[in-house]
């Protein structure tokens, strides 16, 4: 019994040695909570933080990250947001910007100032009834997940080295999307543009995008551009076209249907491969080659006067492995000058394929 009591006493005596000091450390007690700036480091677009200048509702003069906290409707000739600083990101947070009454204006809804500041990002919102262009930005711009409806000019117009992704443009009076040199348009849609759907400058890329029912061509690209995996339908001129004298194009794996002047048009030194082109009312051809030195390979062409037409005495073009169905002029390849171009034999009979050429074209 005495042994038990002694053991308990020793244990109780040792307890204080296991506890920490009763006196707190010197100095003020620091909060472990985040500050408001740490919780939301972005700046809200409002009069107190980004006051306007009489011509624009908000003016951004410092680099940084900004956000809309509500939708915005502007009136008269006022622009919504003027960006007067580089390295600006605006998150629209799913809100919209609109012009009351849909009248004309000399100012886009969102724009950079005359110094064309670079590295601007706009994302996650909608613009409608712009009295001018919808969005106009400088070089190195990025626009993501934005809808622009009923702009009186272009839907989106940006400078060189820009990226437009996952955007939807409907019924602009001008072009749908215009990008300058070395820019990318990806996974975007233009519907019912008053001019062209998507327009690039030199060495642009248009990937996985749609252009439908535009008053000119669906996609119009300049020298060295690449168009792949796109769908163009019911545009008044061509589905996909190189701009005047633009060469070195790559037009790969696209779908072009019911475009008024033709499916695809290139000028020189271009590759047109694995496209599906269909229409019963083409004025020119499924594929029109204007000049020299292009490779037309592995395309499926249905309807129209010609599957492939080489114009302006073009020479040194290679036409192989294409399939023409229901051409209304000859076998679909009749206008290819075989003396000056290289064309695989045309197989037009049914049944077992008798040609042994790996370069044969087919026509039915």
Q: b vs e for 281-314, b when ≥16 Cβ sit within 10 Å of the residue's Cβ?
A: ebebbbbbbbbbbbbbbebbbbbbbbbbbbeeeb
Domain 196-350+357-364: CATH architecture, name and number where available: 3 Solenoid (2.160)
pLDDT value at position 7? 45
Q: Catalogue the E-assigned strands of 225-311.
A: 226-228, 231-233, 238-242, 250-252, 255-257, 262-266, 271-273, 276-278, 285-289, 295-297, 300-302, 308-310
60-83: per-residue pLDDT in tens?
999 999 999 999 999 999 999 999
Q: How many residues does the chain have?
A: 364
Residue 6 predicted with pLDDT over 80 = no
The residue extents of the domains of the chain are 42-186, 196-350+357-364
Longest dimension (CA), the chain: 121
Residue 259 predicted with pLDDT over 70 = yes
pLDDT average, residue stretch 192-213: 99
Q: How far apart are CA 126 and CA 148, in angstroms?
A: 6
Q: What is the mean pLDDT of the chain?
A: 90
142-172: per-residue pLDDT in tens?
999 999 999 999 999 999 999 999 999 999 9
pLDDT average, residue stretch 46-65: 96
Q: pLDDT confidence of 250, banded at 50, 70, 90?
A: very high
């Amino acid at each position: 019994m005495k042994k038990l009591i002694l053991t308990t006493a020793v244990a109780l005596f040792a307890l204080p040695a296991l506890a920490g000091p009763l006196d707190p450390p010197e100095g003020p007690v620091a909060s472990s909570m985040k500050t408001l700036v740490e919780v939301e480091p972005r700046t809200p677009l409002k009069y107190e933080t980004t006051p306007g200048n009489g011509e624009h509702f908000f003016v951004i003069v410092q680099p940084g990250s900004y956000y809309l906290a509500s939708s915005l409707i502007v009136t008269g000739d006022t622009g919504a947001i003027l960006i007067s600083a580089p390295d600006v990101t605006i998150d629209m947070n799913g809100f919209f910007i609109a012009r009351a009454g849909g009248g004309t204006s000399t100012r886009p809804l969102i724009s950079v100032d005359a110094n064309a500041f670079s590295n601007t990002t706009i994302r996650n919102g909608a613009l409608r009834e712009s009295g001018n262009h919808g969005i106009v930005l400088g070089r190195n711009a990025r626009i993501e997940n934005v809808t622009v409806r009923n702009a009186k000019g272009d839907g989106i117009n940006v400078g060189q080295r820009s990226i437009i992704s996952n955007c939807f443009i409907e019924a602009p009076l001008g072009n749908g999307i215009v990008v300058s040199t070395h820019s990318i348009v990806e996974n975007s849609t233009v519907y019912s543009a008053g001019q062209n759907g998507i327009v690039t400058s030199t060495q642009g890329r248009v990937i996985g995008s749609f252009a439908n029912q535009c008053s000119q061509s669906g996609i119009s690209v300049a020298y060295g551009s690449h168009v792949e995996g796109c769908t163009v339908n019911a545009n008044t001129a061509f589905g996909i076209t190189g701009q005047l004298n633009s060469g070195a194009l790559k037009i790969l794996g696209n779908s072009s249907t019911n475009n008024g002047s033709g499916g695809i048009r290139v000028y020189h030194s271009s590759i047109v491969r694995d496209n599906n082109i269909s229409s019963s009312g083409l004025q020119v051809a499924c594929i029109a080659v204007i000049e020299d030195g292009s490779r037309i390979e592995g395309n499926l062409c249905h309807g129209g006067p010609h599957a492939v037409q080489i114009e302006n005495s073009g020479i040194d073009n290679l036409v192989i492995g294409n399939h023409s169905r229901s051409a209304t002029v000859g076998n679909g390849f009749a206008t290819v000058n075989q003396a000056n171009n290289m064309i695989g034999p045309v197989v037009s009979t049914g049944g077992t394929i008798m040609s042994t050429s790996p370069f044969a074209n087919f026509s039915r």
